[in-house]
Amino acid sequence: MKLEQNPQAPIFSNTQIPDIFFSEYLSSANGDYVKIYLYILFLSKYDKDIKLNDLSKKLVLPLKVIQDGIKYWEDMGVLTKKTTGYIINDLQEIELHKLYKPKTSLSAEQLQKSAEDQKRAQSIEYINNKYFSGLMPLSWYPDIELWFSKYGFDEEVMIALFNYCFNKAALNRSYIQTVAEAWANNKIKTFSDLDNYYERQEKINVIIKSISKKLSLNRQLSQYERAYVEKWVVDYAYSLDIIEIALKKTTSKVNPNFDYLNKLISDWYDKGLKTPEQVQKYIADMKVKQKNVQNLQKSTGYNQYNQRNYDNLDDLYVNKPVENLS
């Protein structure tokens, strides 16, 4: 693998790293990938030809890590693959290109400074000073403008987005984009929407904690189990009182699972039951109905046939086909 710098870039006796590497690339790359980049940057000054196996031994890294690291920097546009090796691209040129490209698509109307534009500009400047110590790379500005336009966030939500990612120690484009998508999918646009979202999530977390305790689950719920609870709480608007009725019906189960709970609770929702009292009445009515069926079977001698045993009311929720009586 031959390494060389961009022919247009001057060659110095020391290895220079532009500040844009620290502000734009360092936080999103893992330590091994940074190690790989720094070393091949050093080697490229001397037009070195090095094999991946030798690079693996020199850096004391597995060959797979070397290959993944090279691919990572190639995907980031930092390296350009050639038939004989790679060119190490100028990071400053890359950022200038990113900055220039979005600007060419701005219309005259978009450039007009309205009161809304000024408020947005103030929020971006706040983000710059608060989370980048006033050193936010220029390429972030069009990205933030794009997120404003794509997701319809107001200024307070955008600041809250950066604050959330900053507190998670994940202030990079990929993570911010992921969180922004999640908020947008939950119909968050204003700070009031965000406040309601957090309140709803807190309610869900409290119910999940209670369910885990009542079922003696010494683990976190899986993604799919959590989705069930969110459906019961958000879509069905069921309180813990109703969910607890279903939990009590798992006491006779050897391995109670969320599929079983979901069948019970969804059945109640489909029947239009909205309160714990309505659910309890429905269950009581089903018991009376089942008892009447059993009494009728006894009085008519119907039990001489091989019938399904309905003593366990849970069978009423599994919708199994009736057995052939012939």
Identity of residue 116: E
- The candidate with the shortest Cα–Cα distance to 233, out of 167, 225, 281, is 225
Give pLDDT tens digits for 7-56.
444 444 577 888 888 877 888 888 999 999 888 888 887 776 778 888 88
Q: Where are the domains of the chain?
A: 2-95, 110-189, 191-326
Q: What is the residue whose two structure tokens read 């408020």?
A: 119
Give pLDDT tens digits for 263-277.
999 999 999 999 999
Identity of residue 301: G
- The candidate with the shortest Cα–Cα distance to 91, out of 76, 102, 104, is 76
Q: Which range is least confidently modeled, 180-189, 218-227, 288-297? A: 288-297
Residue 193 CB partners (closer than 8 Å, separation 6+): 157, 187
- Give, to the nearest 10 degrees, the angle between helix 140-151 and helix 155-167: 120
Asked if 50 and 1 touch (Cβ cutoff 8 Å), the reply is yes
Work out whether strand 79-81 and strand 2-5 pair parallel, antiparallel, or are unpaired: unpaired
**Topology given in CATH for the domain delimited by 2-95:** Arc Repressor Mutant, subunit A (1.10.10)
For residue 61, give both structure tokens.
């890294």
Is the pTM value of this prediction over 0.85? Answer: no
Buried b (16+ CB within 10 A) or exposed e, 227-243: ebbbebbeebebebebb
Strands (E), 181-316: none
- The pLDDT of residue 115: 63
Give pLDDT tens digits for 143-158.
998 999 899 999 999 9
Q: What is the residue whose two structure tokens read 């022919």?
A: 7
* Runs of H (alpha helix) within 135-190: 140-151, 155-167, 173-185
Give pLDDT tens digits for 91-135.
877 777 666 555 444 454 554 555 677 788 889 999 999 999 888
